[in-house]
Amino acid sequence: MRKIWIPVSIAALAAADQLLKRWAQSALSGGRVHTFGGLFALRYVRNTGAAFSLLSAHTGLLSAFSAAMILACLAFLLFGKARGRLADIALTMVCAGGIGNLIDRIRLGYVTDYIEPLFVQFAVFNFADILITVGAILLVVWLALDARRGKRTPAASGEDAAQ
């Protein structure tokens, strides 16, 4: 079942990202902005860089790095290097978000961003960025839990041997 839901989830999330970006291009082009209670605004932005427009002049480098990270995530997912549902979910999200932004970079030469927080000074971002960020946070949580489990197991077996 795992071998089915992972690629289906990646494809569905990347497709949702592309649909949202196409909606943003059509609904928000020409400088139109929609605000939501002073918390968020929807505003169309072309981002040639990575987070916070870093490396804006290096779209090719960003594309190559994104492709390498996507391949690494897929390798971990498909060849069973990640253990557990949390790792699967985290890597699926990172992979889908990376694919969504890579499609933009290859197809358009930039990434379409459209979510702007108004309550804090922050970059405009998109659904793929949310997937990557949440997936990365979940991956850190998984790594911490996995390390904690690893430390408990030898200690527990050592205590058992001493008794």
pLDDT for position 157: 47
Q: Where are the domains of the chain?
A: 2-147
Concerning whether 104 is annotated as a catalytic residue, the answer is no
Write out the chain's pLDDT in tens, 163 residues. 667 888 999 999 999 999 999 999 999 988 888 888 889 999 999 987 655 555 555 566 777 778 888 998 888 888 875 578 899 999 999 999 999 999 998 899 889 999 999 988 888 899 999 999 999 999 999 989 888 877 655 444 455 445 4
Task: Kindly name the residue from 17, 104, 129, 146 that is annotated as catalytic.
Answer: 129
| Closest CA relative to residue 94, chosen from 141, 55, 54, 129 | 129
The pTM is what? 0.82
User: What is the per-residue pLDDT for 48?
Assistant: 76
Q: Are 119 and 39 in contact (CB under 8 A)?
A: yes
113 is known as an active-site residue = yes
- Looking at residue 119, the DSSP 8-state letter turns out to be S
Amino acid identity, position 39: L
Q: Which of 17, 88, 113, 146 is catalytic?
A: 113
Q: What is the dihedral of CA 84, 88, 75, 9, to 10 degrees?
A: 150
* Distance linking the first and last C-alpha atoms of the chain: 42
